[in-house]
Structure formats: C-alpha cells, structure tokens
Amino acid sequence: MKNNEPLPISKEILIRINGKSIFGNLKIPEKAEGLIIFAHGSGSSRFSTRNNYVAGILNKNNLGTLLFDLLTAEEEKIDNYTAEYRFNIKLLAKRLIDVTDWLIKEPSLKNLKLGYFGASTGAAAALAAAAKRPDIIYAVVSRGGRPDLAMESLQGVKAPTLLIVGGEDFEVIELNRTAYENISAKKKLEIIPGATHLFEEPGALEEVSRLSAEWFTRYL
C-alpha cells in the first residue's frame, strides 16, 4: 500500500509476512471509524459469501473491513487433502496476529481502531489473537464460532466479546455457553431463534450483521 493513501480504499492487497504471501480484500469507507479483520472458518476463504455480506453491512456503518486468506495457496492445497491446518488454532491465531501487526504499521490505517470478526474455527483464532494483542483489539464478534477451541486463551481476552449462535445449532450453543463462562472481558451471548449453523434461514444473516455492526460501533 502507498503511504497515507487517501480514503476511501477498496482493493485487493498482498501482505508478505515471514516469507509467505497472504492475499486480502481491504475496504475502508471515507468516514471509517474502525477496521474489522475477518477470520474465516475451515474450508472457507476471503471470498466467503456470508462474511462478505456481513462486511458490506459493516462498511455501510462506517467500518472498514479486511477479509484475507488465513492459509497460503500451498497450505490450502495441503489442507484440502489432509485437513491438518483448519483446526490448528495456534497457527491460525499466529497468522492473524502477523496480519494485524502488518496493518498497524500502515500509515493510512494507523488511526483506525481494530476489531476481529471470526466465524467457526476462525472465531477461536480471533479470540486467541485478541488475548495476545489486548492493547490494540477493541472488540471481537464470533458468528457460529468455536470459542471452546481457544479455551486456554479466553481469560486473557480484554476486548468486549459478542458470541452469536443459531438457535437450532444445539451443540455449538453449549460449546459457546461453556466458553462464555470463561471469558473475563465484557461479553454477551446472542442466540438467533430458528437459525442453523450457517445462518441460511431468511433474515438470519441480516440479524448477525445488525448485531455485529452495533457491537463494533459501540466499542470502536
């Protein structure tokens, strides 16, 4: 990115960290008050239809968004056959931290407060990363997440955390309730009636987006 690039920004970016190339889609509205970094779930990518829908709503609420691939192209190919990376929360959290550290060094983005939006296993990575960066992550939202996979990190999360789960996603509701009890930060658990794990039901994803926009606006 160019130094002090004027807003708004809407572009594909290449992030080089630790010898690896990470691609992302960055969108910053002209009046952006914060930047939300997305961590997608297993088998997904920065092109996730659901995450892009949520990102669009956040953009309309003056929040910038970055959707990026947690895995490199080579790692993705391996994972498609072996599934060895998708539940490696330590690796995914480290990748998220590296991208976060890269972002805060960008002059055009330095005044934006940061938040994390995680889906499925990406929510565990987001919470683990937030625990490692308590001074720069101001809010976390989990959509249908697996925060239980980051249980050892939850006590270290200082950012206000919103857990959103579908009312018909019974197993994940219980996993979220258990994780919720272990989060020491300001927190809230929202259960959307009638929604399943992917929030495919009419109005479900809209409600996720509304709740997320309100949470990030409040704390960023």
| Nearest-10 Cα torsion for 12, 17, 20, 25 | -20
- Pair 121, 89: CB distance under 8 Å: yes
173 lies in some domain: yes
Strand partners, 141: 117, 162
152 lies in some domain: yes
162 lies in some domain: yes
- 9 sits in which H/E element: strand 9-17
Residue 129 is part of a domain; what is its CATH number? 3.40.50.1820
Checking DSSP bridges between strand 20-28 and strand 64-68, what pairing results, if any? antiparallel
What pLDDT is stored for residue 3 in this prediction?
A: 53
* Residue 110: HSE in the Cβ half-sphere, 13 Å Cα cutoff: 7
4 lies in some domain: no
CA-to-CA separations, 82 to 76, 85, 87, 123, 210, in angstroms, rounded:
10, 8, 11, 21, 36
- Distance (Å, rounded) from C-alpha 192 to C-alpha 215? 15
Average pLDDT taken over every residue of the chain:
91
154 lies in some domain: yes
* Tens digit of each residue's pLDDT (9 = 90 or more) over 47-83: 889 999 999 999 999 999 999 988 777 777 776 776 6
Domain that holds residue 161: 9-219
210 lies in some domain: yes
Q: Which of 140, 138, 142 shows the shortest CA–CA distance to 165?
A: 142
Q: Which residue spans within 74-214 are E strands per DSSP?
A: 113-119, 137-143, 161-166, 187-192
What pLDDT is stored for residue 60 in this prediction?
A: 96
2 lies in some domain: no
* Tens digit of each residue's pLDDT (9 = 90 or more) over 185-200: 999 999 999 999 999 9
Of 2-16, 77-91, 125-139, the one with minimum mean pLDDT is: 77-91
What pLDDT is stored for residue 87 in this prediction?
A: 76
What pLDDT is stored for residue 216 in this prediction?
A: 98
Please state the domain count of the chain: 1
- Pair 119, 149: CB distance under 8 Å: no
1 lies in some domain: no
